[in-house]
Structures are given as structure tokens and as C-alpha cells.
Chains A and B, each alone.
Chain A
Amino acid sequence: MALSEVFQTTFFLTLLSLRTYQSEVLAEHLPLTPVSLNVSSNSAHQSLHLQWTVQNLLYHQELKMVFQIQISRIETSNVIWVGNYSTTVKWNQVLHWSWESELPLECATHFVRIKSAVDDARFHEPNFWSNWSSWEEVNVQDSLGQDILFVFPKDKLVEEGANVTICYVSRNIQNNVSCYWEGKQIYGEQLDPHVSVFHLSSVPFIRKTGADVYCEVSQGSVSKGIKGIVLFVSKVLEEPKDFSCETQDFKTLHCTWDPGVDTALGWSKQPSQSYTLFESFSGEKKLCTHKNWCNWQITQDSQETYNLTLIAENYLRKRSVNILFNLTHRVYPMNPFSVNFENVNATNAKMTWKVHSMKKDFTYLCQIELYGEGKMMQYNVSIKVNGEYFLSELEPATEYMAQVRCADASHFRKWSQWSGQNFTTLEAAPSEAPDVWRNVNSEPGSHIVTLFWKPLSKWHAKGKILFYNVVVENLDKLSRPELHSVPAPAKITKLTLDQRSYRIWVTASNSVGTSPASVIVISADPENQEVEEERIADTEGGFSLSWKPQPGDVVGYVVDWCDHPQYTLCDLQWKNVGPNATSTVISTDAFRPGVRYNFRIYGLSTKRIACLLEKKTGYSQELAPSDNPHVLVDKLTSHSFTLSWKYYSTESQPGFIQGYHVYLKSKARQCHPRFEKAILSDGSECCKYKIDNPEEKALIVDNLKPKSFYEFFVTPFTSAGEGPNATFTKVTTPDEHSSMLIYILLPMFFCFLLIMIVCYLKSQWIKETCYPDIPDPYKSSILSLIKFKEKPHLTIMNVSDCIPDAIEVVSKPEGTKIQFRKSLTETELTKPNYLYLLPTEKNYSGPGPFICFENLTYNQAASDSGSCGHVPVPLKLPPSQLGLMISPENVQKALEKNYMNSLGEISAGETSLNYVSQLALPMSGDKDSLPTNPVEPPHCSEYKRQMAVPLCLASPSPTENTSLSSITLLNPGEHYH
């Protein structure tokens, strides 16, 4: 039995060793040759697919083998690729291998052969390659069809930057083929007479609809057709960036990433890249529907660690990113909600909020931010579910905004979003007295007190100030204090007080209470205005003021000024300074260059009485004068003149006037004494005189030449410069001799005047001496008597009634004195003119002989009526005057009054020549009817001679109106009018 077992064992071992030996021998000696090589092509992928088996493998034998593959193009000898392929080969296994060609397979015939060798470690013998298989030919061209032209590869999809080889196959070599890439012709190499190849290197992305390569077949100039391909160039798929996942509720992981460029192409050639989430611990996978976020459902409560991979994929490439994390470290809490404020008062409030429930024992760390009054306060608090925080030290009547956010207290990762709410604290009583100042204007019997106060700051007002209380208490007389309530936001009130001392309290009130009072006392004595004003200059930071301390106890000093002194409402400002200070700096943005600011410094006594200590005035920046003075020239002589500008105001200038510059131009090259040479802005030379005293507003310019031309210009100057440029005023000095003439002529004139006065005073004596009076026979009383008897009804003769028909020379005495009437131009044309030659006897009262000329010739009304001008018009007098004229006395009086002045004296007896009218004189003794009867306008009469007639014939006829003429005494030149 044992022997048989030993035998069996020995047999099996022998058999096994034999078997092993046999296989080794077979492997070593029987060549393992690849057989049944089959090559197929895939035009779309431009690949050759090889499949083969290995001959001589034992049953169930596995060997590592290496296969060498050779690929030739066009002909077998043109090997274009050689490569090895190693794999483990099993018995009867069909092996597959692919090779991608850069050249489209349709463009050339390819040949493939293969050989193999054992590459197993169990064989120590050197490897022996098997023999090559026979060449397998791959020719796709034969299956193309009968078209005249083909372009390959068809609609290829490549990545940006790839190299692409394109070829065309032309059936007819006679045809001319031109190929274009994006509109530009490309040139390639000819593989054979039918095939040409083009290499496009590093193709760019052009558009989603692809870039076209097309070839045009033509015979001569005739196009036979176009064939082309669309080369779809995809952008390179990018790796997703910023991939992260977090949870807000331990139920869902929200993962986000930046996808980068979209690699989608048109014509459905390539869709947008897809994104997939893969979790390695659970092995779960999820295809994401959005390109930049994806939600992952947390299914197992026990899983705390996650290994998530995000895979981005398109047709050409796959990219992935991976994160490994603990779920509890990726908590991003949801926003707190129901934020409220409870028990809000003036300074405190309680803030409450809620948070979403998470896992058991989850603790939130919450952060509170409180915004108010331009400040931000931050508080942190840990809570479970409901949060609350007591906000203290708040400001009254202030709007606050409080917001809260929370995070995982155990593993802080990220704050939630803020949740906030506004609230306003309640008001409190104002905490400080208003800052009050006053301005007192003393008027006879009263003080006009204007009270100013500054609004309380929000800090001190502690609410909305509703009104200000002004209480006025008379200190000199026991009386009930007066209360004035001024509604806010007024900052000023005016009080009219008598000239007694008053104490004024000012308080501010809001809805809760009243502030402490500000006290000011108005003294009965008028304010001391006799304080000398001192000039100050602005320093860099403002006006630096200093003053002598007020003797006695002071509670402080007040400096007041106007921000806008040029306006009526000058915006009074004041500054309180402590009792120990004797200087301060007034600085404000309101100060403007060229504006004069006046500062008053008051000392406040312990009784709250303000006492004016000092006055200061200055400019924040002095400017040059804005205008020049209006200069008057007087005392102009041949050698000098005086310039004066006394009305020029130095106070209203944008700087302190320091003096004046007087510029003088003359033809002389040398400047006058006291003047110095100066160059003007236009380059011209002139002489300049400087007046350093601003109040000296006159200048005598002397040492001038007579009859010379001078130009001057006066301009003030400040520390900033002179006034504006203006034109020079011209002055010409008079001739030197003209003044001498005045010296001669004036005395002569006075001498002449003296002689004239003497002559006038002694005129009677001179007259009697040189020209004694000639007696007038008509003035003889005898003559009067005779005439009275002959013509008792002596009337005024109307010369116009005379019709001269003869001239009778009566006598021609020497020394005839006739004073002609005034010329016609001097007479008043609108009224009939009566010229009377009256007796010289003043006391004559009865009717007597006299000559009366009624000048009706030059009546304006008559000429206007269309007549020819010599038309007498009726005398039109007011009835009252008419009535007076009716009686001879009245007539005479009136005539004397109205006309004697113009006529002077004339004596009837002196008439040496009488002109007698050639027309018949209608005689009438009715004197009453003369001036009243109307006279009809005559027929046209161009000219009527006028003659002097003897007095006997001078009898007017009031009724005759058909032919009127006048008698007048004419100058030789007065015949025509």
C-alpha cells in the first residue's frame, strides 16, 4: 500500500516536471508567432485597428509577450512608424491594438506588419523575435466614390493648439486645386499626383461653428466645384477652480467651483463640458446639472469624512479636482432670523434673535455689530438656539442699526450672512446749557439786545430741542421776570430793554426736560466803544489774537466776529476762552481773502457782565486794491497842478491801504524831483511818486513846463500790490503868457466898469450938460387946450383905416427924434399889436390928440385863415379887459401899462414927414366901437403901402372893413415882411 502511494507520488511529480519541461521546450523552440493579423480603419478617428492571435500557445498558458508593429505609408518600404506593444497573452486570445494616424487614412495607402517575442521572466533564455507577419494593406481611397475632389479629415474635432494634417484627393490630375483656410490660401506637399497634404500647426480657437478648410477645383478659370471640411477647434478644458463644499443643515452638501471656459461647440459637435461628483468612501457618483454648483445629499449620519472628486469632461479631455474634508468642519450656518429689540430706553436695549437648529449640542458663535453715531461696536456671544444680548451705554434719541451673524463655535469656518434691524433710543433731558452770546446796540433810552446761541450738539441735546426759554430779570427794579419762548431751530432773538441792568437766562427744552441755564448780564452802562482798533495779520492757521488780561476776577473771555462782515446778516460768531488765557487763535473755513474781519474781545466778569477789552481787525489774506481813486485835477497853472482824491475810501478795500503810487508821464526824459523812474507793465517808462500815508489824498505836481502835455495815474497799494491798471489821465499846462494877459485885462475891465457906474450915476448931469432936452410944442398946455376945443371927441386914430393917397410934407425940423417900435420878429404874433404914440404929458386924462398904430398886418391867425396876410383881425380881449378898455381912461391906462415900455417916447410934433393913405379913410367918431367890431377878412391884397399921415387925418373907422391898411413908421428895410 505504502509502496503504491510512493509510486503514485513519484509518477505525478515526474509527470509534472515533464509537463513543465515540455512547455519550456515549446516556448523556447516553437516560435510564438502572431497570426491572423487583420487591419481595419476608422476614418472618423483616423485610426487603424489591428487584431491578431498568437500561434503555438499552450492551453491555459499565459505569457508576457512583446509585439513589434511596423506601419508603412504609400509603399511598404516607407516605414513611418515602428513601435512595441507588450501584453500578457493567453491561449487563443485575440489581441487588439489601435494606432492613430496624423494623416487622414483616405489620403494614402497604409501597410502594417507585426512580429512578437516572449517577454516573460520565467524564461532566462534570450528572447527571439518571431518572423514578421506579411504586410497588411489598408486602402480607403478605393471606397471614396466618383466625386472629383475629396477633402479629409471630415469635420475633425481637435483641441486648441493641436497640429492638424489635411489632405485632398483629386480624381483628375488635370484639375487645378486651390485650398483655403479661413479665407487664406494654403500650400501643401504633394504625396502623389492625386493627393496633397497640408499641415496646420497649433490651430487656434476661432469660433464655435468651426473654421472651414475648403478646396476649389477648377479647369482653367472655370470652377468645377468646392469641397471642404469644418475643423472644430475646442478650447482646452480647464481644471475646475475653487472647488469647495459646505453644509448649512447637515443634510445637503453644497459644492461650488469656478468652471473656467465653456468648451461647447456649435452644430452639436461638442456640448459644454459635463461635471460629475464622485465620493470615494461611499462610491457614489452624481452628474451635476449646473456648470458651477452641485448639491450632494448626505444620506449617512455616521459618515463624517468625505472624499469628493469633481470631474470635468468633454469629448477631448477629462479634468478632476479632489477635496477631502470632515463634514463638521464645513458648516456654513444659515442667517439668524427674528431679530428684535426689547425694553428700549434712553441708554439700553435688549437684542434678541433666533438661529436654525442644527445637530444636537451644536453651539453657535454669534457676532453682533452695533452702528450708531458714526461708530461701530462689536460683541461676540455663544448661543444654542435663541440668542439675546443686552446693549448698554447707548446714546439717547439715537438711531442704531444692530446686525448679527453666526458661525460654528466648535469649528469655525465661515460666518453666516448678516441679519439686522434698526432701533432708536428714547430721549433724555438736555445735559448742557446752550452757549449764549449777545450783541448790545445802545439807543437813546434803550438797549437793543440780540441774543445768539449755538444749537446744542446731539450729544448734549439728547433729543430734539423743541424750544429755547429766555428769561429776562430786571436787576435794578423788583419785577416779575419775563419769559420768552423761542421755538427751535431759531438761534437768535432780539430784546428791547430799558437802560437798566438785566440778567438773562437761556435754557433749551426737549420733550423730556430742560437743560441747565446759560446766564448773561446786560449792564445798564452803555458798552465802551472807545477802544482802539489794532491791526492784526493772519497766520497760517488763522488769526492769532492776544489781549491784556482784564483787571479783577473774570470767568472767561469771549471773542466775537462776523463770518461775513460784508453782508447785513453778518453771521456773528463767538469763541469762549478760559479765564487764564490771554490769547487764542480764530480759525474757520469761512474766512475769505480780501475780506476785513473785525474781532472784539470781551472779558466776562463774575457777575456775567461782558466788558469790551480790545478790538482787532485784519485780513485772512490781503489782496491788491480792487479800484483806483477818482482823481480830480485842480489848481492847474502853467507850472503845476494838484491831484486830489479825498473821497477815496480806504476802509472798503481788500487790504490795508499803505499809500499811493502816482505815475506821471511827460515828454521830458528826466523825472521831476521826488519822482523816480519806473517801468510800467506795458514796458513804457514813466515817473513814479510814492505816498506812504494812506490818508494823504492829494499831491501837488509842480516844476512843470508851461503848455506841456502830462499824463498821470494814481493807484493805491496794499501789501499785496497796487490797484488795477487803468488809463492815464491827460493834463496840459496852460501858456505862461495867458496868465499875464489876465493880469492886464482884469484891471482894465474893472476900470471900465467903474467908469460906467460913474456915468450911470451922473447920467442926468451928463445929459443936461451934453444933450439938454428940446422943448416939445405938443406938450404945451396951450396946444392941448386948442385941440380940445377943435375936436372934442378925440379918438385914437387907427392907422390902418387910413388910405394914403398923397404925401404932404409939413415940416422937417432938425433933431427929430423917432424911436421905432420893436421889430416884427420881436413882437408877439399871436395877438394883434397896437402901437400907440402917446402924449408925453403924464397927467393927461382926457381925450387928446395922439397917434395910434394898430398893427393888424402881421396877424398869425389871419395868415392862417388863408388870406394873404394883411388881414386885420378883430381885437379879442377877455371881457374884463375889454370892458376896461372901453373908457378912454382905461384904455390909456392899459396901453400905458402894456406898451409904453416898448415905445418909448415920441412926440407928434416932432413928426416931420406924414404919410397919408391913398385910400379913403372912413371916419368915425365912435371910439367905443373901434376895438370891438369884428373886421371881415379882406380880399387878396399882396401889398399895401403904408404911409405916415398927419394927425388930423388919423381917424379910425371901425365899420370900414373892406380895405384896411396900416400906417407905420418904417425903417428902410422894413417894407416887406
Chain B
Amino acid sequence: MLACLCTVLWHLPAVPALNRTGDLGPGPSIQKTYDLTRYLEHQLRSLAGTYLNYLGPPFNEPDFNPPRLGAETLPRATVDLEVWRSLNDKLRLTQNYEAYSHLLCYLRGLNRQAATAELRRSLAHFCTSLQGLLGSIAGVMAALGYPLPQPLPGTEPTWTPGPAHSDFLQKMDDFWLLKELQTWLWRSAKDFNRLKKKMQPPAAAVTVHLGAHGF
């Protein structure tokens, strides 16, 4: 996993957009965010396998796909395609930012109750990476001039281990947390790729622009 991150970071300077000097606009940070999203997707595949095995059957069964009962507080990544396309960049980025803020909090709760040290290490590593993604999204939003969403008082997600929540439901929540995280990362990768393409100035326009300067 570390090797993968190193590879991604090594190739980051190779991205042409990132090698530009001066005011480069949001392009480099979007690319960086996209790369980090893809890396987190890869990292999550390994982590989810380990964690679901830790939970045991039926959660580690490949065809286990329960209807979503409980876990209502998790931000849903699934959204209608038309609705999704109709969203503007600001709204999309805001949704991403809010979703990962929530997911990160739940993930930290997951880390606290993990029984094995190895699992705790993996979860902590993933949390750190996810924290980095949040920072990247914030950077993109800042570059595009969008304000960061402010959490409403009282809506701060908290992880509450409680007897009120049955252990089975807790396991189910963990299952859904990982599933939502996977879907969100997939969706974010699409979002950032779309944004990246959108932010790339067309080559012809650059030429005309330079020509105008020449005259």
C-alpha cells in the first residue's frame, strides 16, 4: 500500500498540469485529489477485506447484500444519475466534503473498537489518508472560490458505542460504512475526473489568447 502511495506521489510531478509554474489555477489540485481518490479506492479494497473477515459471516460473504436497515445516519453516495448530472461543481464538491467528513468520523469510531492491533493500524492509516483527501477537496474548493460548508451546530456526527445499539446492528453499520465509503470514492473519482476535464483550457483558445498578446 505504501509502495502504491509512493508510486502515485512519484508520478505526481510528471503530470503536466502540476509542472507549471506561477498561477496554475485549480488544475493541479484537482489532479492531486483525483489521484488520491484512486489510491484510497485501492487502499479500501484491502482494508474492507480484512475488516469484513474480522466481522465474520455473513458480512464477509461476497454476495451478502442486505437491504439497508439502520445505518441511516451515513451519508448516501447513491444518487439518481439525472440528479447527479444536474448538480453544479460547487454542490458536488460540497457533498463530497460533507460526506467524507461524516465518514471519517464514523471510521474513527470503527478504529476504536477494533480488537486486533493489526486492524487498528490499517484503519488508522486509512483515516490519515482520508483526512488528506478532505484537505485536498478543501484545497480544490478554495481554488475555485467556493466556501467550505460549515457544520450546523448539533449535527456533528458522533460515534456512540452503546448498549442501545445491538452488536449485530453495529456490525451492519460497519458493513454499510465500508460500502458507502467505496461508493463515495468511486463517485468522487468520477467527479474529479469530470472537473479536471472541465478545468483544462482548450488548446485552440490558448493559441488565440497568445496570438492576441502578440499583436
| Residues of chain A having any CB pair with chain B under 8 Å | 151, 154-155, 180, 182-183, 206-212, 214, 216, 223-230, 232, 266-269
Q: Please report which residues of chain B, range 50-87, place their CB below 8 angstroms from some CB of chain A when the two chains form the complex.
A: 54-59, 61, 66-67, 69
Is the beta-carbon distance between A267 and B167 smaller than 8 angstroms?
A: yes
Is the beta-carbon distance between A228 and B56 smaller than 8 angstroms?
A: no
CA A861 – CA B166 in complex, angstroms?
122
8 interchain pairs, CB-CB under 8 A: A155-B168, A183-B58, A208-B115, A214-B58, A226-B66, A226-B67, A226-B172, A227-B69
Is the beta-carbon distance between B170 and A267 smaller than 8 angstroms?
A: yes
B161 within 8 A of A: yes
Is the beta-carbon distance between A229 and B168 smaller than 8 angstroms?
A: yes
**14 additional contacts (CB under 8 A) given A224-B67, A230-B167, A230-B171:** A151-B168, A154-B167, A155-B166, A180-B57, A182-B56, A207-B56, A212-B56, A212-B58, A214-B58, A225-B66, A225-B69, A226-B172, A229-B167, A267-B113
Closest chain B residue to A228 by CB distance? B168
Closest chain B residue to A181 by CB distance? B57
6 closest Cβ pairs, A-B complex: A183-B57, A266-B115, A230-B167, A228-B168, A226-B66, A155-B167
Q: How far is the CB of A644 from chain B (nearest CB, A)?
A: 80
Q: How far is the CB of B86 from chain A (nearest CB, A)?
A: 30
Q: How far is the CB of B87 from chain A (nearest CB, A)?
A: 31
Q: Please report which residues of chain B, range 169-205, place their CB below 8 angstroms from some CB of chain A when the two chains form the complex.
A: 170-172
Cβ-defined partner of A210 (8 Å) among B58, B113, B167: B167
| Complex contacts, A182 vs chain B, CB 8 Å | 56-57
Is the beta-carbon distance between A268 and B161 smaller than 8 angstroms?
A: yes
Q: How far is the CB of B67 from chain A (nearest CB, A)?
A: 5
CA A549 – CA B164 in complex, angstroms?
110
Q: How far is the CB of B69 from chain A (nearest CB, A)?
A: 5
Is the beta-carbon distance between A209 and B115 smaller than 8 angstroms?
A: yes
Is the beta-carbon distance between A210 and B115 smaller than 8 angstroms?
A: no
Cβ-defined partner of A227 (8 Å) among B61, B168, B170, B171: B168
| Complex contacts, A269 vs chain B, CB 8 Å | 167
Chain B 6-49 interface mask (CB, 8 Å, partner A; 1/0): 00000000000000000000000000000000000000000000
CA A350 – CA B76 in complex, angstroms?
84
CA A212 – CA B170 in complex, angstroms?
12
Q: Please report which residues of chain B, range 108-142, place their CB below 8 angstroms from some CB of chain A when the two chains form the complex.
A: 113, 115
Is the beta-carbon distance between A183 and B166 smaller than 8 angstroms?
A: no
Cβ-defined partner of A211 (8 Å) among B56, B61, B113, B166: B56
CA A223 – CA B67 in complex, angstroms?
7
Cβ-defined partner of A223 (8 Å) among B58, B59, B66: B66
CA A228 – CA B58 in complex, angstroms?
10
| Complex contacts, B56 vs chain A, CB 8 Å | 182, 206-207, 209-212
Is the beta-carbon distance between A209 and B61 smaller than 8 angstroms?
A: no
CA A232 – CA B115 in complex, angstroms?
14
Q: Which of B54, B115, B167 has the most CB of A within 10 A?
A: B167
CA A116 – CA B105 in complex, angstroms?
59
| Complex contacts, B67 vs chain A, CB 8 Å | 223-226
| Complex contacts, B66 vs chain A, CB 8 Å | 216, 223, 225-226
Q: How far is the CB of A226 from chain B (nearest CB, A)?
A: 4
| Complex contacts, B59 vs chain A, CB 8 Å | 212
Is the beta-carbon distance between B115 and A180 smaller than 8 angstroms?
A: no
| Complex contacts, B172 vs chain A, CB 8 Å | 226, 228
CA A206 – CA B60 in complex, angstroms?
15
| Complex contacts, A212 vs chain B, CB 8 Å | 55-59, 168, 171
CA A462 – CA B113 in complex, angstroms?
71
Is the beta-carbon distance between B58 and A180 smaller than 8 angstroms?
A: yes
Cβ-defined partner of A230 (8 Å) among B69, B113, B161, B168: B168
CA A520 – CA B57 in complex, angstroms?
93
Q: How far is the CB of A777 from chain B (nearest CB, A)?
A: 120
Q: A154-B166, A155-B168, A209-B56 are in contact. Are A183 and B115 (CB under 8 A)?
A: no
| Complex contacts, B115 vs chain A, CB 8 Å | 208-209, 266-267
| Complex contacts, B171 vs chain A, CB 8 Å | 209, 212, 230
CA A786 – CA B40 in complex, angstroms?
137
Closest chain A residue to B53 by CB distance? A207
| Complex contacts, A230 vs chain B, CB 8 Å | 166-168, 171
Q: A210-B56, A268-B113 are in contact. Are A183 and B61 (CB under 8 A)?
A: yes
CA A210 – CA B167 in complex, angstroms?
9
Cβ-defined partner of A214 (8 Å) among B54, B113, B161, B168: B168
Q: How far is the CB of B83 from chain A (nearest CB, A)?
A: 25
Q: How far is the CB of A800 from chain B (nearest CB, A)?
A: 96
Is the beta-carbon distance between B55 and A209 smaller than 8 angstroms?
A: yes
| Complex contacts, A227 vs chain B, CB 8 Å | 69, 168
CA A894 – CA B66 in complex, angstroms?
131
CA A720 – CA B42 in complex, angstroms?
75
| Complex contacts, B54 vs chain A, CB 8 Å | 207, 209
Q: How far is the CB of A386 from chain B (nearest CB, A)?
A: 49
CA A210 – CA B67 in complex, angstroms?
22
CA A863 – CA B166 in complex, angstroms?
122
Cβ-defined partner of A226 (8 Å) among B57, B69, B161, B170: B69
CA A2 – CA B171 in complex, angstroms?
89
| Complex contacts, B58 vs chain A, CB 8 Å | 180, 183, 212, 214
Q: Which of B58, B59, B61 has the most CB of A within 10 A?
A: B58
Chain B 142-173 interface mask (CB, 8 Å, partner A; 1/0): 00000000000000000001000011101110
Q: How far is the CB of A216 from chain B (nearest CB, A)?
A: 8
| Complex contacts, A216 vs chain B, CB 8 Å | 66
| Complex contacts, B161 vs chain A, CB 8 Å | 268
CA A267 – CA B161 in complex, angstroms?
9
Cβ-defined partner of A229 (8 Å) among B57, B113, B166: B166
Q: How far is the CB of B125 from chain A (nearest CB, A)?
A: 20
CA A206 – CA B55 in complex, angstroms?
11
CA A722 – CA B103 in complex, angstroms?
90
CA A216 – CA B63 in complex, angstroms?
14
CA A229 – CA B167 in complex, angstroms?
7
CA A267 – CA B173 in complex, angstroms?
14
| Complex contacts, B167 vs chain A, CB 8 Å | 154-155, 210, 229-230, 232, 267, 269
| Complex contacts, A151 vs chain B, CB 8 Å | 168
Q: How far is the CB of A937 from chain B (nearest CB, A)?
A: 84
CA A207 – CA B116 in complex, angstroms?
12
CA A210 – CA B56 in complex, angstroms?
8
CA A224 – CA B68 in complex, angstroms?
9
| Complex contacts, A225 vs chain B, CB 8 Å | 66-67, 69
| Complex contacts, B166 vs chain A, CB 8 Å | 154-155, 229-230
Q: How far is the CB of A858 from chain B (nearest CB, A)?
A: 87
Closest chain B residue to A223 by CB distance? B67
Closest chain A residue to B60 by CB distance? A183
Q: How far is the CB of A534 from chain B (nearest CB, A)?
A: 80
Closest chain A residue to B61 by CB distance? A183
CA A267 – CA B69 in complex, angstroms?
21
CA A211 – CA B60 in complex, angstroms?
12
Q: How far is the CB of B134 from chain A (nearest CB, A)?
A: 28
| Complex contacts, A268 vs chain B, CB 8 Å | 113, 161
Q: How far is the CB of B28 from chain A (nearest CB, A)?
A: 43
| Complex contacts, A209 vs chain B, CB 8 Å | 54-56, 115, 171
CA A266 – CA B172 in complex, angstroms?
15
Closest chain A residue to B112 by CB distance? A268
Closest chain B residue to A210 by CB distance? B167
CA A725 – CA B72 in complex, angstroms?
93
CA A151 – CA B168 in complex, angstroms?
10
Q: Please report which residues of chain B, range 90-115, place their CB below 8 angstroms from some CB of chain A when the two chains form the complex.
A: 113, 115
| Complex contacts, B69 vs chain A, CB 8 Å | 225-227
CA A214 – CA B166 in complex, angstroms?
12
Q: How far is the CB of A200 from chain B (nearest CB, A)?
A: 15
CA A269 – CA B55 in complex, angstroms?
14
Q: How far is the CB of A890 from chain B (nearest CB, A)?
A: 102
| Complex contacts, B170 vs chain A, CB 8 Å | 267
Q: How far is the CB of B26 from chain A (nearest CB, A)?
A: 43
Q: How far is the CB of B59 from chain A (nearest CB, A)?
A: 8
CA A212 – CA B168 in complex, angstroms?
7
Q: Which of B54, B59, B115, B170 has the most CB of A within 10 A?
A: B115
